[in-house]
Amino acid sequence: MGHSLRRVLVHLVFSTKHRLPLLKTDGDLQTCLNLFMAGVLKNLGCSPIMVNGYLDHMHPFFVLSPTVCLSDVVETVKAASTKWLRKQGGDLEFFAWQRGYAAFSVSPLRAEKTRRYVRNQRAHHERTTYLEELDDLHRLASLGP
């Protein structure tokens, strides 16, 4: 075969520094942040499937470009969104993301379910905390398809 084929779906999760609830879900901030992160992903050659978050964390779900490594995507998305959020002023003037992140590969068979999960963050977090969510995602990733 003279060419490479690859389609790697990534569900990325990362939180605000100290998990401070700075990402207000009422108003336009969350919607604009989602669109901004999707644009950063597109500029990296990564096709965004769904980007959403809730108060203290974000869930970009995207197709990883074959020309960039995951750690560079994370670094670029976090740096660009930090800069954008700080420009929004108010409580966000000194905004920062926590250093770490969680990234999970997603089977194409689970892509639609993952997209719905990311889209419904507000409803999901009426029942569970961010840390419980990470534990659940890690457990599910360990189980396989």
Q: Among 65-69, 87-91, 125-129, 136-140, whose mean pLDDT is lowest?
A: 136-140
CATH among 3.30.70.1290, 3.30.360.10, 3.40.50.1820, 1.10.10.60 for 8-143: 3.30.70.1290
Per-residue pLDDT at 138 exceeds 70: no
What are the residue boundaries of the structural domains of the chain, listed by start?
8-143
Say if strands 47-54 and 102-106 run parallel, antiparallel, or are unpaired.
unpaired
Sign for the CA dihedral angle at 137, 91, 98, 19 comes to negative
DSSP assignment, residue 90? G
Residues 87-116, mean pLDDT to the nearest whole number: 94
Q: What is the pLDDT of residues 7-18, one digit of tens each?
A: 899 999 999 999
